[in-house]
């Protein structure tokens, strides 16, 4: 039996979550003893200046004996983030604010009204 056959036997159940440049793979796999465990893989795409790209991957192996504690801590951390920062994604709001600033009316001297302070660069 080849290495690919062994890998195919290991994968029992899989789900994929695509999130922008990141993709998360959730895979149920089988141990040699026939028990199951979960792997969570984050794959992130990086593009080079020449247009070529590569992926960086990070993997977590999660075994059944750790499921309860992992779930409790994961839920606690996610609840904390939502309670502290809400559901809105700040980076999306930041992008909207940034675009809004780009569209501000400019004053006669070419600067957005109230946006800049006079600076004498000779002082720097």
Q: For the chain, how long is the longest CA-to-CA vector? A: 77
Q: Which among 94, 60, 88 is positioned nearest to 74, based on CA atoms?
A: 60
Task: Give me the pLDDT at residue 20, please.
Answer: 87
Task: Give me the pLDDT at residue 111, please.
Answer: 47
User: What angle is formed at CA 78 by the lines to CA 56 and CA 38, rounded to 5 degrees?
Assistant: 50
Ordered domains of the chain (ranges, CATH): 3-102 (3.10.450.700)
Task: Give me the pLDDT at residue 51, please.
Answer: 87
> Could you list the pLDDT tens digit for every one of the 124 residues in the chain?
455 545 544 679 999 999 988 999 999 999 989 999 999 999 998 888 998 889 999 999 999 999 999 999 999 999 999 999 999 887 766 666 555 555 554 444 444 444 445 555 555 4
Task: Give me the pLDDT at residue 65, please.
Answer: 96
């Amino acid at each position: 039996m080849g290495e690919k056959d062994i890998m195919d036997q290991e994968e029992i159940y899989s789900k994929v979550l695509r999130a922008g440049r990141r993709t998360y793979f959730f895979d149920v796999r089988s141990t040699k003893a026939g028990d199951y465990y979960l792997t969570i893989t984050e794959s992130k795409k990086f593009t080079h200046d020449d247009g070529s790209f590569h992926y960086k991957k990070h993997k977590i192996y999660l075994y059944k004996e750790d499921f309860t504690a992992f779930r409790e801590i994961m839920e606690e951390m996610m609840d904390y983030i939502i309670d502290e920062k809400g559901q809105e994604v700040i980076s999306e709001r930041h992008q909207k604010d940034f675009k809004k600033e780009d569209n501000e009316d400019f004053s006669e001297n070419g600067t957005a009204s109230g946006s800049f302070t006079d600076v004498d660069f000779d002082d720097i």
